[in-house]
Amino acid sequence: MDIRQLRYFVEVAKQKSFTKASNILFVSQPSISKIIKGFEAELKVTLLDRSEKKVELTDVGKVVYEQALEALRLVDGIASSVNELVDMKKGNVKLGLMPTVGVLLFPTLIGGFKKQYPQIDVQMVEYNAKLLEHHVENSDIDFGVTVLPVSSHFETVPLLSEELVVIVNSNHQLVGKDFVRLEELKNESFILFTEDFILHDRVKHACIQAGFNPKVAYTSSLWDLVGEMVASKLGISLVPKSMVHRFNNPLIHAITISKPLIDWELALIYKKDKYLSYTAREFIYYIQTKNLLNH
């Protein structure tokens, strides 16, 4: 048994496909298949059920998979420790962001980090909130930036705390009011983000708590389109306060929601009990020193 067998087996099990694993590992499919067959022969068991379109773990395969993950975690931890000692200031950070969160917080933040640590590469990828947690849990990415609360499987570093506001057309009857109660919006047409967005669930839940089911006129995954529909009098929407300036449209007016206050807390998350490299620890420290909660 060797590390290569474990790594190939784990990747095929994760992807449920030899082809996808081949693309990720940059190893030919026949080579991966041969290595895993040898691994099964060595253990004298069948680890993968290849009878369907998707490759699935057998019962014994599930046990070996969990053990293999732990073994690889230990091996990768050794490699990270050695690299950390050999070259203290080099490394990379893979960061997952929800759409538009990058625009909200990270261009200036990452620019400052790169200036302080020029030899550390930061790779940013976008996922919706549900996928983002999945990828952090599977160690596909080092960190995620998402909305609290999250699963107890993660450590959290608070980033930004604010509330949701209602945006309306600048000629809307509510314009001129300093505050509005959420229940006052029960007869309005809502423009919501799609169900992939955590904001979708947050708004619907808040409305139900206020005593009504929102009348949904449109849904969209595009922030700019939501803004344009509000500007065109097609409905109202609820968005984080700091995102209002993103629309940059004089036909959009924001009003504070006085009751209830709908919290919107962003946090950096990472997997509990995961080995943190020097690079990862420095990234966390840098984020904490920026004190975004008071911005």
CATH 3.40.190.290 for the 161-264 domain, yes or no: yes
The pTM (predicted TM-score) of the whole model is 0.64
User: What pLDDT digit, counting tens, does each position of 98-112 carry?
Assistant: 876 666 667 778 888
What residues does each domain of the chain span? 3-85, 88-159+265-294, 161-264
Q: What's the chain's average pLDDT?
A: 87
CATH of domain 3-85: 1.10.10.10
- Please check whether residue 260 is in contact with residue 182, taking contact to mean a CB–CB distance below 8 angstroms: yes
Give the pLDDT band of residue 295 (cuts 50, 70, 90).
very low
Give the pLDDT band of residue 281 (cuts 50, 70, 90).
confident
The token pair that represents 283 in the structure block? 């990234």
User: What pLDDT digit, counting tens, does each position of 53-75 carry?
Assistant: 889 999 999 999 999 998 888 88
Instruction: Please indicate whether the domains covering 3-85 and 161-264 agree at the CATH topology level.
Output: no
Q: What is the pLDDT of residue 85?
A: 52
Give the pLDDT band of residue 77 (cuts 50, 70, 90).
confident
The token pair that represents 64 in the structure block? 């070996």
Count how many residues are written for the chain: 295
Share of the chain above pLDDT 70, in %: 93
Spatial distance between the Cα atoms of 110 and 96, rounded to a whole number of angstroms? 13
User: What pLDDT digit, counting tens, does each position of 26-48 carry?
Assistant: 999 999 999 999 999 999 999 99
Give the pLDDT band of residue 261 (cuts 50, 70, 90).
confident
For residue 206, which phi and psi values (nearest 5 degrees)?
A: -65, -40
Rounded to an integer, the average pLDDT of 167-194 is 94
CATH 3.30.1330.10 for the 88-159+265-294 domain, yes or no: no
Q: Which residues of 101-139 are buried (b: 16+ CB within 10 A; e: fewer)?
A: bbebbbeebbeebeeebeebebebeebbbeebbebbbeb
| Segment among 16-20, 107-111, 240-244 with least mean pLDDT | 107-111
